[in-house]
A and B are shown apart, each in its own frame.
Chain A
Amino acid sequence: MGQDRLSQSKLDYNLLFILFLMAIVSAIAIHSAEATLPEKLQHVNFAYKQLQWYAIGAVVIALTMIIDYDRFFQIAWYLYGFGMLLLLGLELNVPGTVTNKGATSWYKLPGGNFQPSELMKIFMIIVLSRIIVNHREKYPEPTMKDDFRLLGKIALTVLPPLILLAKQPDLGMSMVFVAITGSLVLVSGIRWRIIFGIVFSVLMILAILVFIFFQFPNFFHKYILEDYQLNRFYGWLAPYEYSNEQGFQLIRSLLAIGSGELYGKGFGNLQVYLPEAHTDFIFGVISEQFGFIGASIVISLFFLLVYRMVHIALESNDLYGSYLCAGVIGMITFQVFQNIGMTIGLLPITGLPLPFISYGGSSLATYMLAIGLVLNVHSRTKKFMFSSDE
């Protein structure tokens, strides 16, 4: 009977089916966006290439699943070190780095540009989960002080890559790191008091910044945010008054999505030009063609994905497995929320793609890696139960 359960539960078909649907949505959306791309990109069949990337992603998942995720636990710090080396290389501008739109975030590889921070996200989940697990084993009955000690460890691990990211600069990616950290801190079992304390302090700091901005604008401009960073906020909050790039993009995006209305304009009917239609603004392409209904289905797909992952995390009787899932949940949720939120004016515009849907090899590979981790946790869960029953 145990053998049967093992073979049945080795793979989570629900999750894989959701992924399959995502691949279809992605291919359709990218294909429809191709017609509106600039001329130099016209001859590239992005939809086909994306499907190729999905195939490669499947291999990535398979590879991730071969090794027991406990192995990741063991080599966590090596992975972290490797990731840091890559980020440091960017910071030091070693040969082979690529700078685009003022941000040095890529290495040039034969297959295209590679963004090390994508990998680092996964490494971060792996290493933070290990820190928390270790801490929990060491202090089964943590005192307040222990909780603070754990926070300190987490902060010390997260800050170095975060600083390097902020210096690239890559605001979007930095926020993803914060989101991963946040979700892990939440599930790590740290006292509510501390969590509320952190949330409260963050809110306070924001309030103070806003206060300074309005009361002492000169000080704010000089020491806190540069004008170009501020423009992002202007473009977000008042796109029609500030016709900078962000404002322009937001207006286009709102036009595209809004004009889709309830039912959309139908497949292939794109009236509004969107910048980065096949990558960052793919959600606009979907919403314009398929309306509120289509867009809601896509959001629901993501929700189902997260739900499935939460389910796997809950099922897992291993703390490390649960934490890995929580980190991946935090990462994907934040990216989805940020990407869709920016296209409908809920959040300022950053260069984050929509997971699984936007065209892009290295980001898709990273998400597949993350899915691989979750599936890995899932596939080993039953085994543990089986062995513990014995």
Chain B
Amino acid sequence: MKKKKIAQVPFRLNILFFVVFLLFSALILRLGVVQIVYGEDYRKEVERTEDEIVNTPVPRGKIYDRFHRVIVDNIPENAITYTRSKTTTPEDTLKVARKLAKYIDKPVDKVTERDMKDYWILTRKEKAEKKVSKKERKEFEKQGLSQKEIDKKIYELTLKRITPEDLREITKEELEIIAIKHEMDSGYALTPQIVKNNGVTNREYAVVSEHLEELPGVSATTDWKRHYVYENTFRSVLGNITEDDEGVPRERLDYFLARDYSRNDRVGKSYLEAQFEDVLHGKKAKIRNIVDKSGNVIATEKVYDGERGKDLVLTIDVELQQRVEKIIEEEIMATKRKGNSPLLDRAFVVMMNPKTGEVLSMAGKLLTKGEDGKTQFVDFAIGNITSAYAMGSAVKGATVLTGFQTGVLHPNTYIVDEPLYIKGTPRKKSWQTMGTINELTALQRSSNVYMFKTAIAIGGGKYRPHRSLKINPEAFTTIRKYFAQFGLGVKTGIDLPNELGGFQGKETGAGKLLDLSIGQYDMYTPLQMAQYVSTIANGGYRMKPQIIKEIRKPTDDAKELGPVIQRFEPVVLNRIDMKTEYIKRVQEGFRRVMQTPKGTAYAYFSGAPYKPAGKTGTAEAFYDGPIQSRRNDPTYNLTLVGYAPYDNPEVSFAVVVPWATQGNSDGINNRIGRRILDTYFELKAERAKGNVTNDATTTDAATNAEANE
């Protein structure tokens, strides 16, 4: 026996040992593959999945006026949020929702049928199971689908088969649970989702805070609500942000997701809020979630504190803005009371610094029927850039300058103002026949015929009474080209979306060319008018209208502003290619309009201490407003552009009152013009006395512009 053992057993034992060796080698080999060959991949994946970095929202930047008064603020409000982990099951959320429903009230209006069905399946498992028979389940299995696909198909089938009767089982209390669950489910895992932020009472807030232990994922925190301090004032330009259940606009989803936004972030959706989204939007706080074995968040650690959005300082003087808006409202009502202005429903004022392009006030008011049926004013400041009207004689300064530049006029050119009889068009004349006049008088008294004859000359035509008039259609292009140098008919370049460039007439008949020369053919926006008059006021520099003065770093201190990050310097869009003496002539003409008897605005501006200059306009227009039945009714647009003081302008303005009257001259444009200039200089005097600290740095545009050349 022993002999046998020596011969055989040790050999077999060695074989056994060899097998052991092979097996352990296989382990080491495989371990090497996992840890050394693919180790880096695994490490990267771990870094990706285990330390979840989450962004939490920070308040948006505030918006200030030029004297640092807050226009748009953030108000903290109580909010209940819920953060789902990656492994949270629908049952878990349901449990939390049930408990939460006991502590808070939640409106149920957002509950969808699908929400109810999901809830029904979740809470009535046995009944739901019966909706799809065993046989049908077997069928699915036979199709060779994966378990996931089968489950999905069964779920869809169950959803389809839930009847309205089934859903009627859901009680009112349950509906509230569904509403809460709806909010909880809508976010992404590990991203706080607001369950309720509107009208969370202090009691609700306290009770939820007390019971956080039994509400995993829920926290009672602070949310920020946008607050527009001056309510309606300038409201339409400030724009809006999306609601939290609206989130990022779907059509720009990719744009935002690429920029570290979450789907449920509130973003600017119109005008200033939208235009400066990347400024106002803060840098989110980054929080690292440490996830335990079942995927629950066991600890969070702050990686980056986040930063409130940057602040915008506007060029707007909100006090001036408020007063201007009040003036517009009062004057509209005053004119309407006279009873001859059924179509009048809006008026616009733009005031800017002609040297820098800074917009000091941009007001628009629209009279509309509110929900309660009463007529009321709503803010329509944005209409200054989004709507265009026939501006009438106010554009004549541009016409005269075009005449100079094309060589058909020279300083002190005399032309006979007489009614024009052109075959095929109605008689064309000025509001009174003025005889032989030069361009200064033509502007002062607003001669149409002077402009007509200039336009005819530009078009290479020859006026012969009662004959048809032939002009070169190129004249339209020529005039529009020169008008555009003042900003008429082109975008002003203001930093706001949806700016309108105006409207051009399509016909090219001689009559239309004459209309064009007196501002009754193409349509311009009120802001274009302001830019145009500023260009004349500052001696020929077309300034970009600035609405933003500075971007400032946010501070925690509510009283102080952070340091300036970016200052918006004046931008000269173009220098009109005309001789300075030509512009001086037009400036003189404008001065005479307001400061000399016979000037069309003299009655309103005589005695104004600030030496204004400007040009009135009355356009024969056709109604194009909201009252359908009156569309295309003839009416008058009243306009006024100007600046003051005429020799060193610090403010320029445009007043536009579309569809102001049905015939009688009214003067609303001049009344508004006089009052806003008075207000401007009153405010200036008050400030000089130290009522408001004016730290606005007035840069001299002319020097700047020259430096730019």
Question: A219 vs B42: C-alpha distance in the bound complex, in angstroms?
Answer: 39
- Complex partner residue of B28 from A38, A291, A296, A310, CB under 8 angstroms: A296
Interface centre among A188, A254, A259 (most CB of B within 10 A): A259
Question: A326 vs B15: C-alpha distance in the bound complex, in angstroms?
Answer: 11
Interface size class of B (residues with CB under 8 A): 35 or more
Per-residue interface assignment for chain B, residues 1 to 29, with 1 indicating a CB less than 8 Å from any chain A CB and 0 otherwise: 11011001110111111011101101110
A30: Cβ under 8 A from any B Cβ: no
Among A98-106, A109-117, A158-166, A298-306, the stretch in contact with B: A298-306
Per-residue interface assignment for chain A, residues 236 to 259, with 1 indicating a CB less than 8 Å from any chain B CB and 0 otherwise: 000001110000000000111111
B35: Cβ under 8 A from any A Cβ: yes
A346 touches B26 (CB 8 A): yes
Separation in Å of the A140 CB from the closest CB of chain B?
6
A140 touches B1 (CB 8 A): yes
Known contacts A262-B35, A346-B26; is-contact A307 B17 (Cβ 8 Å):
yes
B294: Cβ under 8 A from any A Cβ: yes
Question: A242 vs B17: C-alpha distance in the bound complex, in angstroms?
Answer: 37
Per-residue interface assignment for chain A, residues 323 to 351, with 1 indicating a CB less than 8 Å from any chain B CB and 0 otherwise: 00010011001001100110011100000
- Complex partner residue of A287 from B5, B16, B23, B35, CB under 8 angstroms: B35
Known contacts A317-B2, A341-B27; is-contact A262 B13 (Cβ 8 Å):
no
Per-residue interface assignment for chain A, residues 180 to 200, with 1 indicating a CB less than 8 Å from any chain B CB and 0 otherwise: 000100111100000000000
Chain A residues in 8 Å Cβ range of B16:
183, 186-187, 310, 326, 329-330
A186 touches B12 (CB 8 A): yes
Separation in Å of the A254 CB from the closest CB of chain B?
6
Separation in Å of the A196 CB from the closest CB of chain B?
12
B92: Cβ under 8 A from any A Cβ: no
A292: Cβ under 8 A from any B Cβ: yes
A147: Cβ under 8 A from any B Cβ: no
A258 touches B34 (CB 8 A): yes
Chain A residues in 8 Å Cβ range of B43:
258-259, 261
Question: A75 vs B645: C-alpha distance in the bound complex, in angstroms?
Answer: 123
- Complex partner residue of A333 from B9, B20, B42, CB under 8 angstroms: B20
Chain A residues in 8 Å Cβ range of B293:
36-38, 273-275, 277
Question: A186 vs B31: C-alpha distance in the bound complex, in angstroms?
Answer: 28
Question: A188 vs B31: C-alpha distance in the bound complex, in angstroms?
Answer: 33
Chain B residues in 8 Å Cβ range of A296:
28, 31
Known contacts A259-B43, A261-B43; is-contact A189 B27 (Cβ 8 Å):
no
Chain B residues in 8 Å Cβ range of A307:
17
A319 — nearest CB in chain B belongs to which residue? B5
Chain B residues in 8 Å Cβ range of A261:
35-36, 39-40, 42-43
Separation in Å of the B515 CB from the closest CB of chain A?
74
Chain A residues in 8 Å Cβ range of B19:
186, 333
A313: Cβ under 8 A from any B Cβ: yes
Chain A residues in 8 Å Cβ range of B291:
273
Question: A294 vs B72: C-alpha distance in the bound complex, in angstroms?
Answer: 61
Across the A-B interface, give the 6 residue pairs with the lowest CB-CB distance, nearest first.
A258-B42, A261-B39, A273-B293, A259-B43, A292-B35, A187-B12
- Residues of A in contact with B (beta carbons under 8 Å apart): 36-38, 136-137, 140, 183, 186-189, 241-243, 254-262, 271-275, 277, 287, 291-292, 295-296, 299, 302-303, 306-307, 310, 313-314, 317, 319, 322, 326, 329-330, 333, 336-337, 340-341, 344-346
User: Could you list 28 A-B pairs, sorted by A, with CB under 8 Å?
Assistant: A37-B293, A38-B294, A241-B146, A242-B146, A254-B42, A255-B42, A259-B39, A261-B39, A261-B42, A271-B47, A273-B294, A273-B295, A274-B293, A277-B293, A295-B31, A303-B24, A306-B20, A310-B13, A314-B13, A322-B9, A326-B13, A326-B16, A329-B17, A337-B26, A341-B26, A341-B27, A344-B30, A344-B31
Given contacts A259-B39, A314-B10, 8 further A-B contacts (CB under 8 A): A38-B294, A136-B1, A187-B13, A259-B43, A261-B43, A273-B295, A295-B31, A337-B26
